[in-house]
Amino acid sequence: MTLAALGGAPLFDNDRHGKWPQVTDADKRAVMDVLDRAILSGSDAPAARAFQDDFARLHGAKFALLTHSGTSALQVAVGALGIGEGDEVIVPAYSFVATAIAVMQQGAVPVFVDVLPETGNMDPSKIEAAISPRTKAIMPVHVHGCPADLGAIGAIAKKHGLFLIEDAAQAHLATYEGKPVGTFGTGAGFSLQSSKNLSAGEGGLYVTNDEALLERANQVRNFSQNLVRADSAHYDARRNLDGHKALVSLGIGSMYRGNEMMAAFGRSQLARLPELTKKAQDNGHRLAKALRELPGVLPPSIPSDRTTVFHKYRVWLDGAAAGVDLSPTQLRDATIKALRAEGCEVVMWQGEALPSHPLFSELKGFGKGFPFTSSDVERLRANYHASYPVTRRLIDSSLVLFSQTCPLIGQSAETVDLYADAFRKVWGDRKRLVEIAKG
């Protein structure tokens, strides 16, 4: 069959993809219940409280706090620990920019380390060289829904007296050594943005097992005010906006709460998350088995002590093993074009290592250099201009199957099988990728 990118017929209609999130009648009823109650917001509004309790229980945590984004969930995790001006937090060079910005929003600076080629997660062997007297925490990212090596990273954090904060934005229900991620460190941040496996449109959740940290995180998300605990004798769910004491700010915080419609929708989606996660995992492994049969195609690599939730499905391409005489980026781009022409959703997700963003490479900060000016600027400049060869190779030599709008978790097994067929079709005529690469 002629490749669609070279004039042949597409293998399947792109419109067959399932869009995400999938909205059910139960989701609609949950949101309507909020509107009927006419309680739409508040630190301890009833839908938020119920969602927090259910989420914490499902993830094996004691406490959860609803925030307005995954970024703010990470920021309150940083703020709860008192990390701020002049402090450093070690983060991976491959992630979404929110990981680093959450650190900066509290006045601290991110210090980057390279990642492992197998998973795209933080490389534990690179961490100790990045530690300085200013380092206060390590923030691994469970990128694409696969847990970072929490055992090795946790041991380094303990050895150097550092906090461990998990960026679990993409990793709802992923496990490390049989335990859900989010409770291995002092706290974690999850995202509820539309593309996430658990979606509320926007939103996030901060998770911790430490009640003192919960209180401080709650202050950060509520203007740093001296809040009354919602389980106090004065709490009235019908009047949750009416306090019983004058509120004063103890420091700098912001308004990072979620709202009741977000909470109700997220809670309704949460009830189906285990079932949908299992389906995504089955489909992810099914697709991996098919792709492994193709020379030079490497599906996601999952260490045996972890489970992934396949939030992103990254595939590596090895031109030499495939016998295709193209550079890594030429092979990547030609394959993306060929698969899209067959009907697949294929994206890059990230096109640059985080340190190469102008925000970091030019030390722009908030516009006048802060928070970088509070640290060792020359050391930071060297860190931000380092090469990060594995991150660069990962970006140049791989692609992501499925998209933000049509992620793997929203697809049927039949659609996933068509992706395998599309890859077989393209790879069966892969010598012609050279023609596609040359336009």
Backbone angles phi, psi at 24, to 5 degrees: -105, 170
The pLDDT tens digits of the residues spanning 284-332 come to 999 999 999 999 999 999 999 999 999 999 999 999 999 999 999 999 9
The model's pLDDT over 173-184, given as tens digits with 9 standing for 90+, comes to 999 999 999 999
Domain locations along the chain: 4-21+273-350+392-437, 25-271
Residue positions counted in the chain: 439
Class of domain 4-21+273-350+392-437 (CATH, top level): alpha beta
CB-based burial, 265-286: b 16+ in 10 Å, e otherwise: bbbbbbeebeebbebbbebbee
User: What would the DSSP string read from start to end of 14-25?
Assistant: GGGSPPSSPP-H
Digit-coded pLDDT (tens) for 41-60: 988 899 999 999 999 999 99
pLDDT score, position 102? 98
Quick one: pLDDT at residue 225?
82
Q: Quick: pLDDT tens for 326-350.
A: 999 999 999 999 999 999 999 999 9
Say yes or no to pLDDT of 388 above 80. Answer: yes
Residue 68 has pLDDT above 90, yes or no: yes
Q: What does pTM read for this prediction?
A: 0.95
Q: Band of the pLDDT at 248, cuts 50, 70, 90?
A: confident
Regarding predicted confidence, which is higher, 269 or 247?
269
SS3 268: helix
Share of the chain above pLDDT 90, in %: 89
Query: 3-class DSSP state for residue 175?
Result: strand
- Within 8 A by CB and 6+ apart from 3, the residues are 338, 341, 342, 425, 426, 429, 432, 436
Average pLDDT over residues 148-152: 98
The tens digit of pLDDT for each residue in 418-437 reads 999 999 999 999 999 999 99
Specify the DSSP class assigned to residue 247.
Answer: -
Q: What is the C-alpha to C-alpha distance for residues 67 and 45, in angstroms, rounded to an integer?
A: 13
Answer whether residue 91 shows pLDDT above 60: yes
Band of the pLDDT at 211, cuts 50, 70, 90?
very high
Place of tokens 């680093």: 100
Task: Indicate the Cα dihedral angle 319, 324, 328, 333, nearest 10°.
Answer: -120
Q: What mean pLDDT, rounded, does the chain reach?
A: 95
Query: Do residues 257 and 205 make contact, with C-beta atoms less than 8 angstroms apart?
Result: no
- What span, in angstroms and rounded, lies between the C-alpha atoms of 404 and 416? 16
Between CA 121 and CA 115 the distance in angstroms is 5
Confirm or reject CATH 3.40.720.10 for domain 25-271, answering yes or no: no
Which amino acid type is present at position 396?
Answer: D
